[in-house]
Chains A and B, each alone.
Chain A
């Protein structure tokens, strides 16, 4: 428990800022909705003139814009992007910072096994992600309730919203596994941002090329808001893929971390 408490403590400020950023961005995007709704026809014409690739990149599916929930699905693309960066940062940083800041000697010569250290850090990370989602989901629910006078499908809303947490879990474990495979992570941001934007680019490419195989490669494509809006359920094969990535990530991280040489400073 002491490592868990310590991790929560040292991550408190950063996590608070991330929660503000994710909720703030989502809120601002949602605040545009009444405006767009008022001039819907003009917006649709305007957006239809966008090249398909740009539309794909921005997550615009114009047919969905007419309902608040549809617009929410669009806004969600950006929430997910930010959520992915938060989760990836956590994943890449949570173990590697001990080596980078040279505190690994301190922690690892204490009577704890590396497995216990990793487990405590995972618990702390998932607490942070859970709290982020616990702030985000009710906030969006309240906003949508306001826009639609309570007339929207809660199930669809929840399916879209919970995919944030699932996707973050996938990004987190990719980051974690990468950090244990790399010999040394000199700085978290270049690694995590680099990977997130790589996945984001692949995601855009998967949409424009309509190549479904590419969708397996990027966690941004495991839960598609427009699909959920239309079908009211997740796409099973991508859920399985997500779970598989998480499992491999956990296994690889535990395996690598338990045998990793901690070099002298």
Chain B
């Protein structure tokens, strides 16, 4: 299948300060792709280059096979974008803003506007400046989806939405995805990426350090071991390859282990155990693991 997004060696500096360096990844059509990293890692920069808001220093970005710089107009017809913070023309009513937004796409969006606003519980007759942050975000969501885009780009989409609205929002995104839309969602919250995405790119200090399937990331035989011992064991007892983040709280020890399970079981069997837990770590821990490695 053709790729919805193809990014190759994208680099962008703001003067001398780093934006992104040599960023490459692909998003397949119909895929939900997560983009994760701490604030300032370069998530928004990448997205803004894709939307032709920023001009890259080098590298290329293509959406649906079209060049993001040269063919931004064609691309924009098929892309819906929800910025992390939404700002609209003050003094306009929600309905007017949405109609203005719809007027850029040469199709009738009135039914979509009504459906989406009903779903998001959004009052179309309010003025934009009277809306709370969360409600502005809702306007942003409707505005980003009203033309049934084939690629939906979400930059930190859930900030400002209450949990119930987040739920509705995720449902909406899943429906759009079922309809055939590819989704790129940036976030620094792993939980929401884990909930929604098929694959994830991890970005740190402007560089992609890993692109991985969510399932692989979770499997990859990384386990959290937690056990209680009868009497204390030497501090360096678990100083072996694959063990990371050893924590000791009284007699309870825990660490993340990556590698051949038999090796660690053999090691553990030599210790007098009171209790043992082997758990699947959440993405947060795996993520921290990637970061602490200083890749």
User: In angstroms, how far is the closest chain A Cβ from the Cβ of B92?
Assistant: 9
A265 to B140, CA, bound (A): 15
Q: How far is the CB of B52 from chain A (nearest CB, A)?
A: 7
Instruction: Find out whether the CB atom of A112 lies under 8 angstroms from the CB atom of B104.
Output: yes
Known: A101-B90, A105-B87. A262 touches B73 (CB 8 A): no
Interface string of A221-265 (1 = CB under 8 A from B): 000000000000000000000000000000000000001011111
Interface string of A95-119 (1 = CB under 8 A from B): 0000001111110111111001000
> When A111-B74, A113-B73, A265-B87 are in contact, do A106 and B53 touch as well, CB less than 8 Å?
no
From the candidates B84, B90, B104, name the one contacting A110 in the complex (CB within 8 A). Answer: B104
Tell me which of A103, A109, A110, A112 contacts B87 (CB under 8 A). Answer: A103
Cβ of B14: which chain A residues have Cβ within 8 Å of it? 261, 263
Per-position binary interface string of chain B over residues 63-79, scored 1 when its CB falls under 8 Å from any chain A CB and 0 otherwise: 00000000011101101
Q: Do B53 and A105 have beta carbons less than 8 Å apart?
A: yes
Residues of B within 8 A of A10 (CB): 89, 91
Q: CB-CB < 8 A to A6: which residues of B?
A: 89, 100
* Distance A108 CA – B76 CA, assembled complex (angstroms): 9
Tell me whether A2 is interfacial, beta carbon within 8 Å: yes
Cβ distance A3 to chain B, nearest Cβ, rounded Å: 9
Interface size class for chain B? 20 to 34
- How many angstroms from the CA of A261 to the CA of B77 in the assembled complex? 21
Check B100 against A262 for contact (C-beta < 8 Å). Answer: no
Residues of A within 8 A of B89 (CB): 6, 10, 101, 103
Given A2-B104, A111-B73, A111-B74: A106 and B87 interface contact (C-beta under 8 Å): yes
Q: Which residues of B contact A259 (CB under 8 A)?
A: 55
Q: Judging by beta carbons under 8 Å apart, are B53 and A109 in contact?
A: yes
A264 touches B88 (CB 8 A): no
The residues of B that contact A2 with a CB separation of less than 8 Å are: 100, 103-104
Contact with B along A146-159 (1 / 0, CB 8 A): 00000000000000
Expressed in whole angstroms, the minimum distance between the Cβ of B213 and any Cβ of chain A is 29
Q: In the complex, which residues of chain A have a beta carbon less than 8 angstroms from the beta carbon of B79? A: 109
Q: Are B54 and A106 in contact (CB under 8 A)?
A: no
Specify which chain A residues have a CB less than 8 angstroms from the CB of B148 in the assembled complex. Answer: none
Q: Which residues of A contact B81 (CB under 8 A)?
A: 105, 109
Minimum distance in angstroms from A184 CB to a CB of chain B: 13
- A1 to chain B: closest residue by CB: B103
Distance between Cα atoms of A6 and B87 in the complex (Å): 16
Query: Which residues on the B side are within 8 Å of A264 (C-beta)?
Result: 44-45, 48, 84
- Return A197 CB to nearest CB of chain B, in Å: 29
- Is the C-beta of B83 less than 8 angstroms from some C-beta in chain A? yes
Question: In the complex, are the beta carbons of A111 and B83 less than 8 A apart?
Answer: no
Interface string of B39-56 (1 = CB under 8 A from A): 000001100100111110
B108 at the interface (CB under 8 A from A): no
Closest approach, in angstroms, between the C-beta of B128 and any C-beta of chain A?
10
Q: Which of A80-139 contact B (CB under 8 A)?
A: 101-106, 108-113, 116
> With the chains together, A110 CA to B76 CA distance in Å?
6
CA distance A108 to B84 in the complex (A): 15
Q: Is the CB of A111 within 8 A of B87?
A: no
Most buried by A among B77, B88, B89, B90: B89
Contacts of B83 in A (CB 8 A): 105, 265
Residues of A near B54 (CB, < 8 A) are 261-263
Q: How far is the CA of A6 from the CA of B90 in the complex (A)?
A: 13
Q: When the two chains form their complex, are residues B77 and A111 in contact, meaning their CB atoms are under 8 A apart?
A: yes
**In the complex, how many angstroms separate the beta carbon of B109 from the nearest chain A beta carbon?**
13
A261 touches B53 (CB 8 A): yes
In whole angstroms, how far apart are the Cα atoms of A69 and B130 in the complex?
52
What distance in Å separates the Cβ of B61 from its nearest Cβ neighbour in chain A? Answer: 14
Q: Is B279 in contact with chain A by the CB < 8 A criterion?
A: no
In contact, B48 and A111 (Cβ under 8 angstroms): no
B55 contacts across to A, CB distance below 8 A: 259, 261
Given known pairs A101-B89, A262-B53, A265-B87, the reply for A106 and B73 (CB within 8 Å) is no
- CB-defined contacts of B105 to chain A, threshold 8 Å: 111
Contacts of B284 in A (CB 8 A): none
Fill in one digit per residue for B255-277: 1 if any A CB lies within 8 Å of its CB, else 0.
00000000000000000000000
Partner pick for B48 among A102, A103, A113, A262, CB 8 A cutoff: A262
A112 touches which of B53, B73, B91, B143 (Cβ 8 Å) = B73
Taken together as a complex, chains A and B put the C-alpha atoms of A105 and B48 apart, in Å, by 9
| Closest-CB distance, B58 to chain A (whole angstroms) | 15
B164 to chain A minimum Cβ distance, whole angstroms, is 26
B74 → chain A closest CB, angstroms: 7
With A105-B87, A106-B101, A112-B73 known, 17 other A-B pairs at CB within 8 A are: A6-B89, A101-B89, A102-B85, A102-B87, A105-B53, A106-B88, A108-B53, A109-B76, A110-B101, A111-B74, A111-B76, A113-B73, A262-B48, A262-B54, A263-B54, A265-B83, A265-B87
7 A-B pairs in the complex with CB atoms less than 8 angstroms apart: A106-B101, A108-B51, A111-B73, A116-B73, A259-B55, A261-B54, A262-B48
